[in-house]
Structures are given as C-alpha cells and as structure tokens.
Amino acid sequence: MKRIIAIVRPEKMEELKDALFAADVSGMTIAQVMGCGNQHGWSEYFRGTEVLLNMLPKVKFELVVADDDADKLVDLICETAATGDVGDGKVFISPVEEVIRIRTRERGEQAI
C-alpha cells in the first residue's frame, strides 16, 4: 500500500476531489494548510510598511491506496492540479505498512 500526499492550489480542490471519486478512490482526507515553496509568497503594504507574506494557502489531500493504483492516481492528480505556473504543488508517496479499520478490525487493503 502507498500513502499519497498531494499539496495543491485551493482553486483545484473541487476538481481534484471529483476526479479522485470518479477514479473510484474509496476515501481521502482533505485539509486546508499554509505553506511556501519556490514562489516565496508576495509583498503587501500594511499602514505604509511592506509586509512579506510567505505562507500561501494550499489544500492537502491524503490517500492510502493499493500499490497497483498509486501510479495511475498520481498521474491523475498531476493532470488535474496542473496549471503550468509556479505554485501548482507537490506529490509525496510513501509506503504504508498496515491499515486497520477500527470498526471491523479488518487489516490491509480490505481496510482501505
């Protein structure tokens, strides 16, 4: 199993969520987060003083999927979230040792 974490632009949240559900993803966690990368934020003026706002709003998607589905879903995320501009986000993939569904105590891919 793989854990996929995708950090994307907030305006891509609904489109990406719909695309993942259409690809039969059984569940995901979505959170609004703040972060910065290569774009390093922007400058604004507050009461005549320049203020650097270097934390930008982003949306974090977390999914745990079967190994066989990971590459297909990463491609889907990249295609859906891309605008071609700096700040489109990142995808992180890591192995998952075990998943346990609390209610039934199912383990492994049956618990996803």
For residue 87, what are the domain limits?
A: 2-111
- pLDDT-derived band of residue 78, with 50, 70 and 90 as boundaries? very high
Asked if 59 and 32 touch (Cβ cutoff 8 Å), the reply is yes
Convert the pLDDT of each residue in 19-28 to its tens digit: 999 999 989 9
Distance CA 64, CA 57 (A): 23
Could you give the number of structural domains in the chain? 1
Please state the rounded mean pLDDT for residues 90-99: 97
**Predicted pLDDT of residue 87:** 86
The mean per-residue pLDDT over the stretch 27-50 comes to: 82
H/E segment holding residue 5:
strand 2-8
Give residue-wise pLDDT tens across range 9-21: 999 999 999 999 9
- Paired tokens of 93: 């993939």
CATH code, 104: 3.30.70.120
Task: Count CA atoms closer than 13 A to 35's CA, side-chain side.
Answer: 17
